[in-house]
Structure 1
Amino acid sequence: METGIISLYNRITARMRADYDVLLEEADIDSIIQGKKGFYEEKVVRAVLQEANQCGL
């Protein structure tokens, strides 16, 4: 992984706030990355996974 996990969480959290006015916690991000996406809008899931993929996950 090119960047640390804390940087990844911070990047995802900032993007979700800026783009979608959604505040995700680390547990939310973990759930989405692990495939547990039922509680989240599809656009949020796509954005989280895109950020994670860019960081090498």
Structure 2
Amino acid sequence: MSNSFFRNAFDRIAAAREKQARRYVGSVLLSLDDETLKSLGHSREELSRNARSPYPF
């Protein structure tokens, strides 16, 4: 049982950190110009839609 507790705790921490990293990367990408975003395969609208907070923490 303790094995599943630690596995669940680790999975939740990893998921939270992944969300945090996505928000951070999204906010940095939003600081780029539209042409650069397009060359990277992103659009400002897509990033704005997915951005929940301007700050990662």
Asked if Structure 1 and Structure 2 have the same fold, meaning a TM-score greater than 0.5 normalized by the shorter chain, the answer is no
TM-score (structure 1 length as normaliser): 0.31
Higher relative contact order (CA 8 A, sep 6+): 1
- Return the index of the structure with the highest Cα Rg: 2
Determine which structure has the larger helix proportion and give its number.
2
TM-score (structure 2 length as normaliser): 0.31
